[in-house]
Chains A and B, each alone.
Chain A
C-alpha cells in the first residue's frame, strides 16, 4: 500500500491511498484502502490521514477517521495516530501505520508494524525513515 497526505499554502488538506491488497487474497476481497474513513480521510476542519496495514483491522476501527477524532479533541498528530493504532492493536489485534497532516502543517508518520517506509517535505526540508523511532 502507498499513500500521501498534504496541506497546501492556503491550508487545504488532501489524502490519497492506493494498493494491490494482500498476496493470495480472495478474488473480490477489498481491504481498507478505498473505504472512506478507513484507508483515508481528509477534512480541512481536522486534517488528512492515509493508512496502511492489516485492512480488515483498519476497517473495523475506521482508523483514519478515528485518528482525526482524536485530533478534534486536541491531540497532536503524533499523539492521535499513536492512540488510534494502540486502540486497533488492543481491540482487534491489528497492526498498521498512518501518516497525518493537520491544516496548520503539523504532521506525523506512525506505525506498529516492524517497519514502514515514509518521507515528508516541510519547508523544502526532506525527512524520512524506515525503522521505529527514526
Chain B
C-alpha cells in the first residue's frame, strides 16, 4: 500500500507576514517525513523526523521558536504514539530540550511510563545523555518581543483564546 504522511504547523490566526514561511516549513517537514517512509522506514520514525524538522524551525511554536510562559521561560510538551502496539511516550513542562518529541520517544522506549513531567523529565533526559541547550537558544527575537508586548495583558489573551491565540 502507498505510504502517507500529513503534518500541521498549528491552528491559529496566522498573520500574513508569517504565512509563506509557515507553509514552506510544513512542506519541508512533510517531505522530510516522507523521505523516511520512502526509504522503507516505519510510521513512527517518519512522524518523529517530521516533527523534529518543525521543532528545529524558528517559525513554529515548538522547540526553537517556542512561546514563553508568564515568567519568560520555555516549557515544552510532546507526545509520540505507535499505532501498532499502542506504545506511547510523552513529556510535559520540560526545559532546555531542543527536540522534545525525541525525548518523548525515549520515555516510550526506555521507561515503563507514559509521561514524565518538569524536573523529572529533565532528570531523565540527563540520565540518557540528551544534550540540553540554553533557554536563549530556543527563544526567537520575535517571540521575546511579542511576550514583552503582551505580558501585562494576560486577561485579554485568555479572552482571545478561541479566535486568535492557541497552543
Interface residues of A (CB under 8 A from B): 1-36, 39-45, 47-48, 50, 52-55, 57, 93-101, 103-105, 107-109, 111-124, 126, 128-130
Contact = CB atoms under 8 A, between A and B. Distances in A.
Q: Which 9 A-B residue pairs are closest in the complex by CB-CB distance?
A: A20-B66, A97-B11, A42-B83, A13-B83, A2-B54, A14-B43, A119-B30, A121-B34, A116-B11
Interface SS of chain B: mixed
B106 interface: no
A44 B81 CA distance: 11
Contact of B62 (A20, A24, A26): A20
A64 B47 CA distance: 16
26 contacts: A1-B60, A4-B51, A5-B6, A6-B46, A8-B3, A9-B1, A17-B79, A23-B68, A24-B147, A40-B81, A48-B81, A52-B11, A54-B162, A95-B166, A101-B4, A114-B13, A116-B10, A116-B11, A117-B19, A118-B8, A119-B26, A122-B2, A122-B4, A123-B4, A128-B26, A130-B19
Given A9-B1, A53-B11, A16 B70 contact: no
Interface residues of B, number: 88
Interface in B28-49: 29-31, 33-34, 37-38, 40-44, 46-48
